[in-house]
């Protein structure tokens, strides 16, 4: 049985990567069963070879997702994942943005993956402009094995773009794996952080690019299970912003989606309860 959220707990979202094999309808159901306020749906393949359920080209499925979100009292926080590559055609992404807007998302997750910074900046600006027409923000996530791999680089790109809807997205794992320090966040305009991504992990991470990819995609820990200084990170970010739980882990992957979501949701609520009252246990009672 899902426990009640602790006082002062932020709204939480089930990130699609936490259970990437779930189709969008199953993800919405799992989010509801896990006690999440939101979910995020991957409707843009990060790489051309990635295979996803075709949401954008299926109006009937879009309507069904919309109905499922409403019936399960789950909102759509963001759509993902727009990897801005050398070959990216922003105009071709507009239908995906329109679907996200239709389903209620106000955030578009983007990643910078183009060594030509002039082209990357131009594509980022175009994406922001396309999203602005739909009243959506573009949240730029930095990833250590991508071109935009640190807070400094992401902040530079957002500032250089001069787009009013350009935002920064902090992924707890990527922040600390990039050598981020929470005091760096103090000098950044607070409105640039519309939400954040939360997971846990060992304090010392893998060194190689391949190992970092494996950790990020299949070996994260649930909030409160690791050693990352998550409390200081949360204190450094604006209070009350939604928290997207991005914690894919192979140890849960064989379980039914609803059971996975209940485990992740309960662990997240215990983590926030422990933050507000250290006497609250982090482990399952």
In this predicted structure, the answer to whether residue 5 has a pLDDT above a threshold of 90 is: no
User: pLDDT tens digits, residue range 223-253?
Assistant: 999 999 999 999 999 999 999 999 999 999 9
Residue 100 above 90 pLDDT? yes
Kindly provide the b/e burial profile for residues 68-97, where b requires at least 16 CB atoms within 10 angstroms of the residue's own CB: bbeebebbbbbbbbbbbbeebebeebbebb
What's the confidence (pLDDT) of residue 8? 66
The bridge status of strand 38-42 relative to strand 137-141 is unpaired
pLDDT at 7 over 70: no
What pLDDT does residue 228 have? 98
Query: What percentage of the chain carries pLDDT values higher than 90?
Result: 91
Per-residue pLDDT for 104 more than 50?
yes
Residue indicated by tokens 């005091």: 183
Predicted local distance difference test score (pLDDT) of residue 276: 82
Which CATH architecture group holds 12-276?
A: Alpha-Beta Barrel (3.20)
Instruction: Tell me what the mean pLDDT of segment 143-151 comes to.
Output: 97
pLDDT digits (tens, 9 = 90+) for 192-216: 999 999 999 999 999 999 999 999 9
**What is the reported pTM?**
0.94
* Per-residue pLDDT at 280: 72
**Closest by alpha carbon to 24, among 53, 51, 67?**
53
* β-pairing verdict for 75-84 and 137-141: unpaired
List the domain boundaries for the chain.
Answer: 12-276
Confidence band of 2 (pLDDT split at 50, 70, 90): very low
- pLDDT for 1: 39
HSE, CB side, 13 Å, CA atoms: give it for residue 155: 16
User: For residue range 156-176, what is the model confidence (pLDDT) as tens digits?
Assistant: 999 999 999 999 999 999 999
Q: What is the DSSP letter of 161?
A: H
140, 157 Cβ separation under 8 angstroms: yes
Asked if 93 and 127 count as a contact pair (C-beta separation under 8 A), the reply is yes
pLDDT at position 285 over 70: no
- Alpha-carbon Rg for the chain, nearest whole angstrom, is 18
Average pLDDT over every residue of 85-113: 98
Q: What is the pLDDT of residues 32-86, one digit of tens each?
A: 999 999 999 999 999 889 989 999 999 999 999 999 999 999 999 999 999 999 9
pLDDT at position 284 is 64
């Amino acid at each position: 049985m899902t426990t009640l959220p602790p006082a002062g707990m932020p709204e939480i979202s089930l990130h699609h990567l936490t259970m990437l094999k779930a189709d969008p309808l199953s993800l919405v159901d799992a989010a509801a069963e896990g006690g999440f306020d939101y979910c995020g749906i991957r409707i843009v393949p990060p790489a051309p070879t990635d295979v996803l359920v075709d949401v954008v080209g299926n109006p009937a499925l879009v309507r069904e997702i919309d109905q499922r979100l409403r019936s399960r009292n789950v909102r759509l926080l963001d759509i993902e994942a727009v990897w801005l590559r050398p070959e990216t055609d922003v105009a071709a992404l507009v239908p995906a943005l329109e679907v996200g807007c239709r389903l209620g998302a106000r955030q578009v997750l983007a990643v910078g993956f183009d060594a030509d910074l002039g082209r990357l900046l131009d594509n980022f600006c175009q994406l922001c402009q396309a999203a602005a027409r739909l009243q959506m923000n573009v949240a730029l996530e930095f990833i250590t094995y991508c071109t935009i791999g640190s807070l400094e680089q992401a902040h530079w790109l957002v500032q250089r773009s001069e787009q009013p809807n350009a935002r920064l997205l902090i992924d707890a794992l990527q922040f600390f794996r990039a050598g981020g320090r929470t005091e760096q966040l103090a000098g950044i305009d607070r409105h640039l952080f519309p939400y954040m991504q939360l997971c846990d992990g060992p304090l010392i991470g893998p060194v190689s690019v391949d190992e970092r990819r494996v950790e990020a995609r299949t070996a994260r820990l649930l909030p409160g299970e690791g050693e990352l200084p998550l409390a200081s990170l949360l204190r450094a970010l604006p209070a009350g912003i939604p928290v997207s739980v991005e914690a894919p882990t192979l140890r849960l992957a064989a379980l039914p989606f609803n059971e996975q979501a209940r485990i992740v949701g309960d662990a997240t609520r215990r983590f926030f309860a422990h933050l507000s009252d250290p006497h609250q246990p982090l482990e399952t009672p």
